Chain A
Amino acid sequence: MAKITLNLISGRTIHQGVAMEGGKEKDLYRKACGIIEMDDSDFKKLGCWKNTNVRVTSKYGTVIVKAQETSQGPHPGVGFIPMGPWANQIVNPNTYSTGMPTFKGTPVEVEVAMNEPILLGVELVQKACRGEV
Chain B
Amino acid sequence: MTKTVTDVVCPFCGTLCDDLEVAVTDDGKQILDVYNACAIGAEKFLHSQAKDRITRPRFQQPDGTWKETSYDEAADYTAKMLAGAKKPLMYGWSSTNCEAQSMGHEIAEMCGACVDNTAAVCHGTTLIAVQDIGLPTCTLGEVKNRADTIIFWGCNPCHAHPRHMSRYSIFPRGFFTGKGHKSRKLVVVDPRVTDTAKMADIHLQVTQGQDYELLNAFRVAFKGEWLPDVVAGIPKEKIIEAANIMKAGRFGIIFFGMGVTQSLGKNHNIDEAIAVTKDLNEYTKFSIMPMRGHYNVTGSGEVLAWQFGYPYSVDLTRGFPRYNPGDTSSIDLLTRGEIDAAFVIGSDPGAHFPISAVKKIAQVNSVCIDPHITPTSGVSKLHVPVAFVGVETGGNAYRMDNVPIDCRKVVEPPEGMLTDEEFLTMVRDRVKKLKGVA
Contacts and interface: CB of A to CB of B under 8 A. Distances in A.
A73 interface: yes
Nearest to A13: B159
Contact of A93 (B158, B348, B356, B378): B356
Contacts of A105: 208-209, 263-264
B194 interface: yes
Interface in A94-120: 95-105
B337 to A, nearest CB: 13
B352 A18 contact: no
A30 B194 CA distance: 22
B160 A17 contact: yes
B106 to A, nearest CB: 24
Interface string A49-72: 000000000001100000000101
B191 interface: yes
Contacts of A96: 264, 266, 326
A91 B354 contact: yes
B121 interface: yes
Interface string B304-324: 000000001100000000000
A104 B359 CA distance: 21
Nearest to B363: A129
B362 interface: yes
A16 B40 CA distance: 9
Contacts of B162: 14
A92 B313 CA distance: 20
B403 interface: no
B120 interface: yes
Nearest to A75: B192
Interface residues of B, number: 66
B433 interface: no
A88 B263 contact: no
Contacts of A104: 208-209, 258-259, 262-263
Interface residues of A, number: 52
Contacts of B329: 95, 98-100
Interface stretch (B81-89, B167-175, B368-376): B368-376
Contacts of B373: 23-25, 122
Contacts of B312: 99
B262 A78 contact: no
B132 to A, nearest CB: 12
Nearest to B293: A12
A125 B40 CA distance: 23
Contacts of A72: 156, 192-195, 197
Nearest to A9: B208
B335 interface: yes
Nearest to B210: A105
Contacts of B50: 23
Contact of B262 (A89, A103, A124): A103
B40 A21 contact: yes
Contacts of A126: 64, 375, 378-379
Contact of B375 (A12, A91, A121): A121
B353 interface: yes
B39 interface: yes
Given A93-B357, A96-B266, A21 B193 contact: no
A121 B351 contact: yes
Given A88-B354, A99-B329, A103-B121, A93 B258 contact: no
B192 A128 contact: no
A123 B353 CA distance: 16
A12 B156 contact: yes
Given A93-B335, A98-B266, A21 B12 contact: yes
Contact of B350 (A73, A85, A95, A102): A85
A78 B208 contact: yes
Contacts of A80: 192
Given A78-B191, A84-B351, A105-B209, A100 B379 contact: no
Nearest to B190: A72
A95 B357 CA distance: 12
B179 interface: no
B313 A7 contact: no
A102 B356 CA distance: 13
A98 B352 contact: no
Interface of B: 12, 38-40, 43-44, 47, 50, 64, 120-121, 124-125, 128, 156, 158-160, 162, 191-195, 197, 205, 208-209, 258-259, 261-264, 266-267, 293, 312-313, 325-327, 329-332, 335, 348, 350-359, 362, 372-375, 377-379
Interface of A: 7, 9, 11-14, 16-18, 20-25, 60-61, 70, 72-75, 78, 80, 83-85, 88-89, 91-93, 95-105, 121-126, 128-130
24 contacts: A11-B159, A13-B159, A17-B40, A23-B50, A25-B373, A73-B193, A78-B192, A80-B192, A88-B351, A88-B352, A88-B355, A91-B354, A92-B354, A93-B331, A95-B325, A98-B329, A99-B312, A101-B353, A101-B354, A104-B208, A105-B208, A125-B350, A126-B64, A126-B378
